[in-house]
Amino acid sequence: MSYVDCFVAAVPNDNKEKYIEHAEVSALVFKEHGALEIVENWGDDVPQGEVTSLPLAVKAQDNETVIFSWVVWPSKEARDAGWSAIMEDPRMSAENNPMPFDGKRLIYGGFNTILTA
């Protein structure tokens, strides 16, 4: 089965267009290095919890929106090789494609797919 990376972050509302530009460049690079699909989502109905929630997890401020993204890979091996190449790709450097959000509050992880319906 496939392998999926997911990402959750808080992006300043004023940086929405910059985020889209960043995501477009990133998607191109990820696809060139083996990703099958990249999905980017801008928060719309993301409730603030009292104990746990996506906004709390990324310490979202009032002027920020939570994004949720995922990348589908054919396998963990393809993902590992892809990530290695992505980290070396100059298009992904901070100078060429800066993150328009606080990367210290980015949550990410890799997951084995156990069901696709």
pLDDT in tens, 2-47: 999 999 999 999 999 999 999 999 999 999 999 999 999 999 999 9
Q: Say if residue 76's pLDDT is above 90.
A: yes
- Structure-block tokens of residue 99: 């993150």
What is the percentage of the chain residues whose pLDDT exceeds 90? 99
Cα 24 from Cα 70, distance rounded (Å): 13
Domain boundaries defined on the chain: 1-43+52-107
Q: Say if residue 1's pLDDT is above 90.
A: no
**What is the pTM assigned to this prediction?**
0.93
Burial of 80 (0-12, 13-18, 19+ CB in 10 A): middle
What is the percentage of the chain residues whose pLDDT exceeds 70? 100
Domain 1-43+52-107 CATH assignment equals 3.40.50.410 = no
